[in-house]
C-alpha cells in the first residue's frame, strides 16, 4: 500500500491549481471591468478628443477618418470594446465566444501598444529613452495584453473540454 505524507515542502504544489484558477478568473473579470469602463468612456466628448491624436498617428486606425468625426470614430471604438466585454461575459455558457472576445482583446491591446511607436512624445529623451506621459499611460496595456492571453488559453481549454463532452 502506498502512503502519501503531506509535508510543508509540497503544500505550494497542492495550492498551485487553485491559485492559477483564481488568477484566470481575476484576469477575465478585470478585463471585463477595464474594457467596459474604457468602452463606455469612448462615448464622451473628452475621451473622443483624447484619443484623436493616437488614432490620427496610427497606421492601423487612421482609416477611421472615413467615419467623419472624431466622436463617431470614438463611438465605434467604444462599441467594439463593449462587444469584447459581452463576448468575455459568455465564458461560463459559451467558451468559444469568450475565446473570440479574448482574441479581439489581444488585437485591441496590440493596437494600443503600437501607439508607443507611432505617436509622437510617447517617449521622452532625457539622456536616455524613458516613457513620457503618454507612454506611461499606454504601458499598462502590456499587462492587459498578458491577461488577454491567459483568458484566451482558459477559453480554448474550456472549449476543448466542451467539445470532448459532446
Mean pLDDT per 10-residue segment, the chain (166 residues): 57 78 94 96 95 91 87 96 98 95 97 91 72 84 95 92 56
DSSP state of 153: H
The cell for 147 is 491577461
Inter-CA distances, 140 with 63, 65, 146, Å? 25, 26, 10
Residue at 1 is within a domain: no
Between the CA atoms of 110, 47, 41 and 94, what dihedral angle is there, to the nearest 10 degrees?
Answer: -20
Its domain, for residue 97, covers 25-165
Q: What pLDDT score does 131 carry? A: 77
CA–CA distance, 138 with 150 (Å, rounded to integer):
20
130 DSSP assignment: E
Per the domain annotation, does 13 fall within a domain? no
The answer to whether residue 12 sits within a structural domain is no
Distance CA 145, CA 105 (A): 7
pLDDT of 135 reads 82
In the chain, how many domains are there?
1
β-bridge partners, 125? 129
Residue 5 falls inside a structural domain: no
Whole-structure pTM value:
0.83
Return d(Cα 102, Cα 146) in angstroms, integer.
11
Amino acid at each position: 500500500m502506498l502512503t502519501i505524507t503531506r509535508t510543508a515542502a509540497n503544500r505550494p504544489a497542492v495550492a498551485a491549481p487553485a491559485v492559477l484558477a483564481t488568477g484566470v478568473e481575476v484576469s477575465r473579470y478585470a478585463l471585463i471591468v477595464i474594457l467596459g469602463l474604457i468602452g463606455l468612456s469612448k462615448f464622451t466628448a473628452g475621451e473622443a478628443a483624447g484619443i484623436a491624436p493616437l488614432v490620427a498617428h496610427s497606421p492601423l486606425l487612421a482609416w477611421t477618418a472615413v467615419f467623419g468625426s472624431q466622436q463617431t470614430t470614438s463611438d465605434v471604438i467604444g462599441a467594439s470594446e463593449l462587444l469584447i466585454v459581452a463576448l468575455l461575459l459568455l465564458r461560463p455558457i459559451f467558451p468559444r465566444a469568450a475565446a473570440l472576445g479574448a482574441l479581439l482583446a489581444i488585437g485591441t491591446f496590440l493596437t494600443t501598444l503600437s501607439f508607443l511607436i507611432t505617436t509622437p512624445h510617447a517617449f521622452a529623451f532625457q539622456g536616455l529613452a524613458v516613457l513620457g506621459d503618454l507612454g506611461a499611460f499606454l504601458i499598462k496595456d502590456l499587462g492587459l495584453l498578458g491577461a488577454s492571453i491567459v483568458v484566451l488559453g482558459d477559453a480554448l481549454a474550456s472549449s476543448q473540454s466542451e467539445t470532448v463532452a459532446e
